[in-house]
Amino acid sequence: MFVHQRQGSLEVICGPMFSGKSEELIRRIKRAIIAKQKVQAFKPALDDRYDLSAIASHSEQKHGAIPVKDMVELARLLDPEAEVVALDEVQFMDEGLIAIIEDLANRGVRVIAGGLDQDSNGEPFGIMPLLLAKAEYVTKLQAICMVCGAQAGRTQRLVHTGGQVLVGAAEAYEARCRHCHEVPHAMGRRLLEGD
Ligand code: ADP
Ligand code: ZN
């Protein structure tokens, strides 16, 4: 059946760390390039874990991306000719991104945004709930729980430091399922009780 489809939409790829968000984003970017579409990719400048100017997966796949310090800079660097705009680690981007995405999608641009839906406490991360609500298409990926091997929807922080943002290497985090995931205050209590 022929379905009439107008261009311009938001796709969100979310899930915990190690679930393959960057791999999936890179896969979609590569296919757009094969289709000869003009693609522009951005990432927040603070995410410098692997490469300052690339979307990089834990499986060492890479695609070039422009690091931006805020949404003013992103808006300034947008190429008016871009047909696909890919954004990685959007949980670190500010609310200004919402208006930018709305404008792009309304102008016919395909926007693909990847990021963590939950922080390491299992709480909604930054602007991600807004993006999920606004998206036409949502892909929620799961990793493998490093404790029990089940599907994992959460990210466990393995080191004790405060704050929601700890841009860390893989050693600081692991994927966990709901049952094996522990929030820091519970971990502290367990340590106090000598469990
Ligand atoms: P994300 O962007 O969601 O952090 P990546 O695309 O960077 O994910 O990495 C996904 C890759 O990480 C997998 O293909 C696999 O090679 C590797 N990996 C390492 N630990 C895990 C895990 N616990 N569960 C699934 N994949 C893992
Ligand atoms: Zn588990």
pLDDT in tens, 28-50: 999 999 999 999 999 999 755 55
Domains, the chain, ordered by start: 9-141 (3.40.50.300)
Task: Say which range, 79-83, 162-166, 190-194, has the weakest mean pLDDT.
Answer: 190-194
Distance CA 68, CA 84 (A): 17
Token match 């190690």: residue?
18
Rounded to the nearest whole angstrom, what is the distance from the C-alpha of residue 179 to the centroid of ligand 2? 6
* Ion ligand 2, residues whose Cβ is below 5 A away: 145, 147-148, 150, 177, 180
User: Residues with Cβ within 6 A of ligand 1?
Assistant: 15, 17-23, 57-59, 143-144, 146, 175
β 154-157/173-176 pair status: antiparallel
pLDDT of residue 194: 46
Query: What residues does 39 pair with on adjacent strands?
Result: 84
Contact 152, 16 (CB under 8 A): yes
pLDDT of residue 188: 52
Look at residue 192 and tell me whether its pLDDT is greater than 50.
no
Ligand that comes closest to the CA of residue 147: 2
pLDDT of residue 26: 97
What is the arithmetic mean of pLDDT over 6-28?
96
pLDDT tens digits, 89-144: 999 999 999 999 999 999 999 999 999 999 999 999 999 999 999 999 999 999 99
pLDDT of residue 193: 47
pLDDT of residue 48: 55
